[in-house]
Amino acid sequence: MFSKDHFLRFYKGFFIEGGYKVVLKGLGNTLSIAFLALIIGMIVGSIIAIIKINPSKSKFNKVIQKVCDGYVALFRGTPIVVQLLLTYYGLFGSLNISAFQTAILIFGLNSSAYVSEIIRGGINSVDIGQTEASRSLGLPFPTTMVRIILPQAIKNTLPTLGNEFISLLKETSVCLFVGVIDLTNAFYTIAFSKIEYFYTFTFLALSYLIIVIGVTFLFKLIERRMKKSDRN
């Protein structure tokens, strides 16, 4: 396992035979899926959060809130790999939709179920007096949420959103089940082509660790910038 021959097999497959090119492609796909999924998750999740805290007593609003509750329960209550397989091989089986596009959609919808609760908590953390003041000025509920409350809620939940992005990065490893060349699938290919597992998967683990450390640093930097702008 730790022999020189094992390392040379990995070195040959990764550097000499161009395995690193597949890894770079996989890294790009992993980052793209996670980033685009987070954007979808924030958009859809924010809409769900606003609907769920809407104080309207109308029957239509109550029905929509129940639909949102069911949506969140569905995506939080089933494994994402099952959602991915069911969608790609089942719902999209006869459609000309790539595995990469399916992965972005499913990861985005799955993320939105979690982000909706994150944003809802962020909205509840904003002083209720701001909502009451805007309503007293005649601003409708959607405008109040989008222009006043939601930006503050996102700022309050930035560390948690960073954790969600990190979770998405790691969860993209299940994309290999539908043939997407992500970071895990790229190293998986090298491992089984060279019959060398220890060094290959060690480098895979280190790659994820480096990415997560970089993303954590980036979100902390953004958080510090936001706090500095608030003081100014």
Taking only the tens of pLDDT, the chain with its 232 residues reads 567 788 888 888 898 888 999 999 999 999 999 999 999 999 999 999 999 998 888 999 999 999 999 999 999 999 999 999 999 999 998 888 999 999 999 999 999 999 999 999 999 988 888 888 887 888 888 888 888 899 889 888 999 999 999 999 999 999 999 999 999 999 999 998 888 889 999 999 999 999 999 999 999 998 888 877 666 6
Provide the pLDDT for residue 217.
Answer: 95
- The range of the structural domain enclosing residue 127 comes to 4-231
CATH of the domain at 99: 1.10.3720.10
Provide the pLDDT for residue 1.
Answer: 57
Full-model pTM: 0.91
Continuous H helices in the chain? 4-11, 19-53, 59-77, 80-85, 99-125, 128-136, 141-144, 150-156, 158-171, 183-194, 198-231
Provide the pLDDT for residue 225.
Answer: 86
Q: Supply the DSSP string of 99-151, one letter for each residue.
A: HHHHHHHHHHHHHHHHHHHHHHHHHHHS-HHHHHHHHHTT--HHHHIIIIIHH
**How many structural domains comprise the chain?**
1
